[in-house]
Amino acid sequence: MADWKAEASATRVARQVFPREAPRVFRSGEGQYVVLPTPYGKVELIAVKSGFVVAAERPPDDSLLDPRNLPDMLANHFRDNGLHPWKQIGSTDLHEVILKLQPDCEDDAPARPAWSPFLCLMETGVEVVGEARRFASRQIKGILDARRPREPVPQISGVPGVGRRTLAACVAQSLSLHPVELPISRCLIERTMQQPMETVLDTLMAGADALRPDELLVVSEAEWIHALELARRVVLAELSRLPRVLLVGAPVPQTWTDGVIVQECLGLESADDVEALIKANSMEVQFAGPALNLLMRTAAVEGVGVVPGRLLFLVRLAMSVSTCSPLITPDDAAHAAELGKTAWREAVHS
């Protein structure tokens, strides 16, 4: 979907309609939108004179449009893309049209056990940029495919901002699973620090009970588990009992990783990868002279490469200080680099 642009406001509406799937909305040109993932697979919305025609990969069986009643070009487009005409909505307001995708009845859906307050759905549909990162994604997918309960748990390891959670969400999506995040630091708040292991274990077990078969538990900030010293073995043993679990965390000493298969998440390696990252995040920006190279050097970490989170932060900073945005000059890049370096120094020393 290289030519599609993300629609932030429409995405917020879509996530009200499908909170469990946490979809994103993309636009191609004028009047053509895609919503995915949804309970109906990919959903496409195409503007017509009287509103929008909606098609989906798996629309409800009892409410379909007859493709013979559509213009040949539109019917052929849906057929060629594996979509079935679903409904026609008489509104030109995109947000209103998305709201009308709301499922009519959820009575047949299996009841979910009590959802832990520590759990949260993760964003999906984010593109993994860079061959080394795509290779890591395939490696983790293979480990999760092969793994059985009580076997070592895979972990994505990397510096903050390198894209560990993005990688985890993409792995889940490649396995047709919905990623559900449990940030360990939420458990280790002040009132529970006297018994951190018990708190983590209770939360993990409650969270595991709340998961559905099509969900992957992503335990982020896993370095907190490894820092539990001797208790980490107990926690990791309990985690290994779960059939679908993935750890995400900062690098830790090798002696702390017994029972874990660590896959490092590296940064970006080339200017082409950086440009692809910027495009994937729908940033309309241009760089004058060495501006992009300056931002890349500032966002790079030795032995890791260009850290995507840092790079995107610097681009947004440069755009905010630029007097001729969307053009970023070398002076804009230098200003953003200084601000970024200050922020990261304060984060390290805080």
pLDDT at 192: 45
The pLDDT of 326-346, averaged and rounded, is 85
Local confidence band at 253 (pLDDT 50, 70, 90 cut-offs): confident
Alpha-carbon separation of residue 128 from 124, 164, 169, 273, 303 (angstroms): 11, 10, 10, 10, 20
> Could you tell me which residues are beta bridge partners of residue 268?
306
Which token pair is 53?
A: 């025609």
Query: Which residues make Cβ contacts (< 8 Å) with residue 39, sequence separation at least 6?
Result: 18, 21, 58, 103
**Rounded distance between C-alpha atoms, residue 181 and residue 45, angstroms:** 30
- Pinpoint the alpha helices (H) of 35-163: 72-80, 94-99, 131-146
- Counting DSSP H helices and E strands in the chain, the numbers are 13, 16
Query: Is the pLDDT score of 168 beyond 60?
Result: yes
Local confidence band at 231 (pLDDT 50, 70, 90 cut-offs): confident
CATH no. of 120-264:
3.40.50.300
Minimal CA–CA distance to 129: which of 274, 1, 26, 264?
274
pLDDT digit string, tens, across residues 100-137: 888 764 444 444 555 566 677 787 667 788 888 999 99
Contact status, residue 150 vs residue 236, Cβ threshold 8 Å = no
- Amino acid identity, position 112: R
E-strand ranges in 270-347 read 286-287, 300-301, 305-306, 327-328
**Rounded distance between C-alpha atoms, residue 20 and residue 43, angstroms:** 16
**Rounded distance between C-alpha atoms, residue 323 and residue 327, angstroms:** 8
Q: What are the extents of the domains in the chain? A: 5-99, 120-264, 271-349
Q: SS3 of 12, please?
A: helix
Query: Is the pLDDT score of 195 beyond 70?
Result: no
Local confidence band at 207 (pLDDT 50, 70, 90 cut-offs): low
pLDDT digit string, tens, across residues 61-107: 666 788 888 888 898 999 888 899 998 898 888 999 999 888 764 44
- Pinpoint the alpha helices (H) of 91-195: 94-99, 131-146, 164-174, 184-187
